[in-house]
């Protein structure tokens, strides 16, 4: 049984996977209960929000475009309508001036002299009325249109009869018709046109009020949309916060359990290494020592010059070499010098052993006063140094490393530097060794950094506060 355990841990120290020595039952675990990811809900909420934003933006853009077109159309039509009404009013004023000239007693021109002028006014007035009807903002009722048309027809019929009377030589009768009928009809038409101008202005005011109402409606819709959007954002934010709090709580619990598991694994590993080291040193060492003594006694009993005596001596030397290897392996697994002489002596011893066993040219630099650390803390610092040099030998591609140990009144700092391949390439995948080093640094309340120095390679820096307790 002891032999199996020794073989397993020797395989571990030579590079085999340390997890393989654990019982197979520890490698299996129950799968965690399936939890629906919040991503689907968040994506649906985002899509709904974006759809609402796009729909409302499209609606508001369309409403504003319609408002702009309506406002432009109504303003242009109102302007044209006013111009046509003013044109009609101007034509009626020309008619009034012409009738005044006809009734002027100082100049007794034949009344038929004004027929051409009134025909031009008549034609212009008909065209103005036609265009005004097309652009009128305030649509006239059928009764109003019929009244205006009848009034104009009656007026021009009266004008035609007046010119017919004047053409018959009855000038005074024609002037009497002007005074009695045409002036009154022209005044009525002028009043009607003035009323249309007033209605047009009122219509423009109503149109402006309508546009203001539409703008107010759009503004209210914008406010409602903003309120709905803010509510959706608040709900989404609260949902995200709750989800993040739950996730972070789960991550914190998982991290705490992982931290506890790592501590237990490291403590179990150290205890196992210490037990195996003691078994190697005590049991195997005593057995090999006894074998050497027995072989020495047997060799003395053999005759001088006997081949058996030489073979016994050779076996004794093999047993002695095996004893030294066992003691060296015992020190590697758990250095007793660390407990007997402290961390400084253990570092000196391991730098020499690493130079010999790993084939590295390791230089050791010390600065500052020695820092007294607890024995449990010292073993973690020693293991980090051991793992760092093993990584240099296995992965860096260089055969040189520098170890720097700095002490102060407040902290101990350990640096292991090489100028090899560095942290690039496949080494970016964090192995069990780096994870264990980080856990050991956390156990002693320190920090560990893995960086690339300017000259290339890898720099491992461990900072342990003085008085740390594992």
What distance lies between CA 94 and its chain's CA centroid? 76
Encode burial over 273-289: b for 16+ CB neighbours within 10 A, e otherwise.
beebbebbbeebbeebe
pLDDT band at residue 191, thresholds of 50, 70 and 90?
Answer: confident
Q: What is the pTM of this model?
A: 0.48
CA 374 to chain centre: 46
376-435 pLDDT, tens per residue? 888 889 889 988 998 898 888 888 999 999 988 888 999 999 988 876 544 444 567 888
**pLDDT band, very low/low/confident/very high, at 448 (cuts 50, 70, 90):** very high
Of the candidate ranges 96-100, 321-325, 329-333, 423-427, the one whose mean pLDDT is the lowest: 423-427
Higher pLDDT, 333 or 23: 333
CATH hierarchy code of domain 40-233 = 1.20.120
Tell the CATH topology of 341-465: Heat Shock Protein 90 (3.30.565)
**Residues in CB range of 361: below 8 A, 6 or more apart:** 355, 399, 400, 401
Pairing of strands 361-367, 400-407: parallel
Q: Is 305's pLDDT higher than 80?
A: no
Half-sphere exposure of 238 (CA within 13 A, CB side): 5
Q: How many CA atoms lie within 13 A of 76 on its CB side?
A: 7
Q: Are 395 and 457 within 8 A, CB to CB?
A: no
- Res. 106: pLDDT tops 60: yes
Mean pLDDT of the chain: 78
Average pLDDT value for residue range 368-374: 82
Smallest CA-to-CA distance from 85 within 136, 122, 146 is with 136
100-111 average pLDDT score = 74
Nearest-angstrom CA–CA distance, 357 and 345: 18
Distance (Å, whole) CA 128 – CA 87 = 7
pLDDT at 445 over 60: yes
Query: Higher pLDDT residue, 331 or 324?
Result: 324
| CB contact set of 312 (below 8 Å; sequence gap of 6+) | 295, 298, 299, 302
Sheet of 411-418, strands arranged across: 361-367, 400-407, 411-418, 458-465, 447-451
Highest mean pLDDT among 78-87, 93-102, 137-146: 93-102
Residue ranges per structural domain of the chain? 40-233, 341-465
Average pLDDT over residues 328-343: 76
User: CB under 8 Å to 363, separation ≥6 — which residues?
Assistant: 400, 401, 402, 403
Provide the pLDDT for residue 404: 92
Q: Which candidate, 76, 86, 74, 73, places its Cα nearest to that of 197?
A: 86
Backbone angles phi, psi at 465, to 5 degrees: -70, 145
Cβ atoms of 371 and 411 within 8 Å: the answer is yes
Residue length, the chain?
Answer: 470
**In 3-state terms, what secondary structure has residue 403?**
strand
Q: How confident is the model at residue 294 (pLDDT cuts 50, 70, 90)?
A: confident
Q: Do 380 and 470 touch, CB atoms closer than 8 A?
A: yes
- The pLDDT of residue 26 is 37
Instruction: Give the pLDDT confidence score for residue 416 in this predicted structure.
Output: 94
Residue 312 has pLDDT above 80, yes or no: no
Query: Is the model's pLDDT at 289 over the cut of 60?
Result: yes
Q: Quick one: pLDDT at residue 24?
A: 36
Q: Average of pLDDT values for 203-222?
A: 79
Backbone angles phi and psi of 138, in degrees to 5: -90, 100
Please name the residues in contact with 382: beta carbons below 8 A apart, sequence gap of 6 or more: 335, 338, 343, 346, 347, 350
Summarize pLDDT for 150-178 with one digit per residue, the tens: 888 888 988 888 888 888 888 888 888 88
252 versus 469: the higher-pLDDT residue is 252
pLDDT(467) > 60 = yes
What is the gyration radius of the CA atoms in the chain, in angstroms?
56
Which of 95-99, 391-395, 453-457, 466-470 has the weakest average pLDDT? 466-470
Cβ neighbours of 295 (radius 10 Å)? 20
Q: Is the confidence at residue 28, as pLDDT, over 50?
A: no
| Secondary structure class of 470 (helix, strand, coil) | coil
Query: Which range is most confident: 36-40, 270-274, 378-382?
Result: 378-382
What mean pLDDT comes out for the span 213-238? 81
């Amino acid at each position: 049984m002891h032999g199996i355990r020794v073989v397993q841990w020797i395989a571990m120290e030579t590079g085999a996977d340390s997890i393989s020595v654990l019982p197979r039952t520890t490698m299996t675990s129950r799968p965690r209960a399936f939890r629906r990811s919040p991503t689907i809900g968040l994506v649906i909420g985002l899509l709904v929000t974006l759809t609402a934003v796009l729909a409302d933006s499209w609606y508001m853009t369309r409403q504003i475009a319609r408002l702009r077109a309506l406002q432009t159309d109504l303003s242009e039509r109102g302007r044209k309508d006013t111009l046509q009404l003013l044109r009609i009013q101007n034509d009626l004023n020309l008619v009034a001036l012409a009738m005044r000239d006809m009734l002027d007693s100082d100049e007794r021109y034949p009344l038929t002299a004004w027929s051409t002028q009134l025909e031009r006014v008549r034609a212009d007035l008909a065209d103005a009325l036609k265009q005004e009807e097309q652009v009128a903002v305030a649509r006239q009722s059928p009764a109003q249109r019929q009244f205006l048309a009848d009034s104009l027809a009656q007026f021009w019929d009266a004008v035609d009869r007046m010119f017919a009377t004047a053409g018959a030589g009855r000038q005074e009768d024609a002037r009497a018709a002007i005074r009695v009928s045409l002036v009154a009809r022209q005044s009525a038409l002028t009043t009607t046109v003035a009323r249309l101008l007033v209605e047009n202005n009122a219509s423009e005011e109503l149109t402006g009020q309508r546009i203001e109402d539409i703008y107010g409606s759009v503004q209210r819709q914008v406010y409602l949309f903003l309120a709905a959007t803010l509510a959706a954002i608040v709900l989404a934010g609260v949902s995200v916060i709750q989800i993040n709090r739950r996730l972070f709580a789960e991550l914190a619990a998982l991290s705490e359990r992982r931290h506890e598991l790592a501590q237990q694994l490291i403590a179990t590993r150290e205890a196992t290494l210490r037990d195996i080291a003691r078994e190697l040193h005590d049991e195997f060492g005593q057995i090999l020592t006894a074998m050497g003594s027995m072989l020495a006694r047997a060799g003395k009993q053999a005759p001088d010059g006997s081949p058996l005596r030489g073979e016994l001596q050779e076996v004794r030397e093999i047993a002695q070499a095996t004893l030294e290897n066992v003691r060296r392996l015992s020190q590697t697994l758990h250095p007793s010098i660390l407990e007997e002489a402290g961390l400084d002596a253990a570092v000196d011893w391991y730098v020499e052993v690493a130079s010999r066993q790993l084939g590295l040219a390791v230089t050791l630099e010390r600065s500052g006063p020695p820092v007294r650390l607890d024995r449990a803390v010292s073993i973690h610092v020693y293991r980090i140094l051991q793992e760092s040099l093993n990584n240099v030998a296995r992965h860096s591609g260089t055969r040189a490393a520098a170890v720097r140990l700095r002490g102060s009144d407040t902290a101990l700092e350990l640096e292991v530097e090489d100028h090899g391949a560095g942290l690039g390439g496949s080494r970016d995948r964090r192995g069990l060794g780096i994870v264990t080093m980080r856990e050991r640094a956390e156990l002693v309340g320190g920090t560990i950094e893995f960086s690339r120095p300017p000259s290339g390679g890898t720099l491992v820096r461990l900072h342990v506060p003085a008085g740390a307790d594992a």
